[in-house]
Copies of this chain bind each other. A is one copy, B any other.
Amino acid sequence: MPDFSLSTETKELLENVSVATLATALYKRGLRNQVIQDVHPVKRKGRNMVGPAFTLRYMPAREDRNQLVEFRNPKHPQRHAIEICPPGHVMVMDSRKCAYAASAGDILITRLMVRGAAGVVTDGGFRDAMNIGELEMPAYHNRPSSPTNLTTNEAIDINVPIGCGDAPVFPGDILVGDDDSVIVIPAHLADEVAKEAVEMTAFEDFALSKVRAGASIIGLYPATKEESLEEFKEWRAKNGR
């Protein structure tokens, strides 16, 4: 699974489109299940999280393997993953949609941020969520969860294909999160989807401005009337889009 390299250009494009628009662009390509379900920003950041996925897989914890002493192991997969996640990447955790116990806490997530990660996503919950929300790095989870992750989660695999919130995530896939949700763009589609989403966003912004000014959506969204497309062309020229 060779790592697709996220270009600076594509990254910038993806920083300026919504997850909803990206979901539609993937829908056109037959991909319907790429939005991570029931995962929310720990705190809304007003900007997009963008980066390739670096994954961590949890399994149910067995008590004899998950005493606090385990964390003393320098190669404990949860700790190790935090230390080797490449800068610019988004760490994505398969917590089996279980928020009974934490996926991680503020010390680890702060370390991840200091190391240059672009963000973190779990389909479980973070402990110290009140602190994690205040970090500059975006974080997404289901809900705050204070028990130590050893209670129900054992970190078992680093950077393997996983599920997160019922979406498939392969290492290197491009994760984009906005103030609503997070989406997984297959690596090989990132460039073309980014470009298309920027085009779609231009049209949506145009349509929204028309709607605000009183236009009907019929014929405009989608643009089945010829005049809508012409007006859009003018709008783009005028607004430099």
Q: How many monomers of this chain does the complex have?
A: 6
A31 to B151, CA, bound (A): 10
A 1-27 to B, binary, CB cutoff 8 A, 1 in contact else 0: 000000000000000001110111001
Chain B residues with Cβ below 8 Å from A64 are: 29-31, 186
A102 to B93, CA, bound (A): 25
A183 at the interface (CB under 8 A from B): yes
Cβ contact within 8 Å between B128 and A31: no
Given A20-B105, A114-B214, A146-B19 in contact, is the A130-B180 Cβ separation under 8 Å?
A: yes
Chain B residues with Cβ below 8 Å from A162 are: 59
Q: How large is the interface on A (under 10, 10 to 19, 20 to 34, 35 or more residues)?
A: 35 or more
Task: In the complex, identify which listed stretch (A190-198, A204-212, A231-239) lies at the interface while the others stay far away.
Answer: A204-212
Cβ contact within 8 Å between B32 and A151: yes
Separation in Å of the A225 CB from the closest CB of chain B?
10
Given A62-B31, A63-B32, A107-B207 in contact, is the A129-B180 Cβ separation under 8 Å?
A: yes
A196 to B74, CA, bound (A): 25
A89 at the interface (CB under 8 A from B): no
Contact of A110 among B102, B128, B145, B208 (CB under 8 A): B208
* Extra contacts besides A23-B148, A35-B145, A146-B183 (15): CB < 8 Å: A19-B146, A24-B148, A27-B147, A29-B64, A30-B64, A31-B63, A60-B168, A62-B186, A72-B222, A72-B224, A107-B221, A111-B216, A114-B212, A130-B178, A144-B181
